Amino acid sequence: MHTSRRNALRSLAGSALLGATACLPWIAHAATSLLPASRGRRVVVVGGGWGGLAAARQLHALATELEVVLLERRTAFWSCPLSNRWLADRLDGRLLEHDYAQAAKAFGYTFIRTEVDAIDRDKRQLQTRDGVLDYDWLILAVGIRDNFDPWFGNDARAADQARKQFGSAWQAGEQAALKAKLESFSGGDLLMNIPPMPYRCPPAPYERACMIASMIKRRNLKAKVILLDPNPMMQGFSRVFSTQYRDQITYVPQARIKAIDPFGKRLSTDFEEFGFDQAILMPPQQAGELAWQAGLIGKEDSGKSSGWAAQEPVTYRAIDDPRIYLVGDMIDRASPLFGHYPKSGQMAAHQGRIAAAQVVSAIQQKVVTPALPASTCYVLAGADPMEMMRIEASYRLRGDGLIMQMIKQHYDAQPRDEDVSWAKAMFSELLAATY
């Protein structure tokens, strides 16, 4: 763990870390000990994203006798799915934000607003900004962190400049700054890169490029999106790039970033050098900070760190801790046949439900039939006119116990806000939203 990164993350959290809210009866008061001692039935969920919300609700639904506690540093959930629409002024942002306290009250669990700094696995205790909390079982859904080391090494000044001036807004709550930057963008070259796989929501950078291109086109700016991609191009976008946005997007394949000068606004790949007027820089991604502190990161066959939290592929139990379950974008490979599960919101929600069922079965000393997740992603491939892709991922166990992946992609030339309908259903299920 790098001290500079931890300090940076703490400073970014800023005023959000105000402690547990005490004004409502279903929200616990902060103290030296956040709650009275556990009576053997406390399940703590850390992280209020899609996976954490699904786990908290499912735990209480399956076993009302459990004491379920959700810890999250923000008071409101902000949806990354649909946020690209909002960035391009094609969605009301009020749809994306929801109150955690409302969900906790509706679904019968305890919500505490705080940030977890450390896990003591021997004591089964969490150290938070507002006190300690004992747990009997723990579900971690702490998402990702940016890894600037491959670009800048130990140059903390350059990493900080890239983060502040050219942030990716790839985590919930960061999108407002990006929207303001896009609204003030008056022209020139806007450089975007796609991180090397695996990363959060694989189709989302392509969708974002299209939404920004639609904004450039609509505002008649003398501007272009330069999209650098180190991965095989995602199917379905090539035609849109070359038709709807041929004058607004320059797509550069096989573009692995070798060096960046965030002060001089220069970037080099293995083959080319680029200058830019504005940028959205997406560094490689890893499991969130807490997974590293807790010693839950997996290893590759070579012995090198994988960068992701190691879990059993079907149960999501941490490899070396039977009292901890891992869900969402933070987790490691699921199968040697395809690598990682797609790091998407719906996938995380499925995993959260499965992990909750596993925890309940362990507490009740029952055996449950292994379940496998599924995922559907709705992606806007164009906006002038509107075009949409639906990407479905499903899974089954092979005879040798390995997980197989099936991917289907559907194209819709006349979408009817299916993505919005899907999101509203998820917000209702996980956050008690009403429409």
Residue 21's pLDDT band (cuts 50, 70, 90): very low
Say if residues 96 and 82 touch (Cβ distance below 8 Å).
Answer: yes
| Model confidence band, residue 369 (pLDDT cutoffs 50, 70, 90) | confident
Domain boundaries of the chain, sorted by first residue: 3-145+286-371+427-431, 154-283
What is the rounded distance in angstroms from the CA atom of residue 3 to the CA atom of residue 293?
A: 11
206-215: pLDDT as tens digits = 999 999 999 9
Does the domain at 3-145+286-371+427-431 match CATH 3.50.50.60? Answer given as yes
**Residue 27, pLDDT score:** 45
pLDDT tens digit string along 22-51? 334 344 444 589 999 988 899 999 999 999
Does residue 283 carry a pLDDT above 50? yes
- Residue pair 262/166 in contact (Cβ under 8 Å)? The answer is yes
Would the CATH topology of 3-145+286-371+427-431 be identical to that of 154-283?
yes
pLDDT score for 322: 96
Helix (H, G, I), strand (E, B) or coil at 50: helix
Of 246, 278, 282, whose CA–CA distance to 384 is shortest? 246
Distance CA 27, CA 25 (A): 5
Which of the 8 DSSP states describes residue 87?
A: H
DSSP calls for 364-431: TT---------EEEEEEEEETTEEEEEEEEEEEE-TTS-EEEEEEEEEESS--SHHHHHHHHHHHHHH
In the block, residue with structure tokens 């999209």: 227
Q: Torsion angle of alpha carbons 175, 390, 212, 223, nearest 10°?
A: 150
Q: What is the DSSP letter of 316?
A: -
Q: Say if residues 59 and 43 touch (Cβ distance below 8 Å).
A: yes
pLDDT score at 6 = 39
Q: State the amino acid at position 336 in one-letter form.
A: P
**How far out from the chain centre does Cα 358 lie?**
22
Q: Please state which CATH class domain 154-283 belongs to.
A: alpha beta
CA distance 326 to 297: 11
Strand partners, 412: 388
Instruction: Check: pTM over 0.85? Answer yes or no.
Output: yes
- Which structure tokens are listed for 142? 């702490």
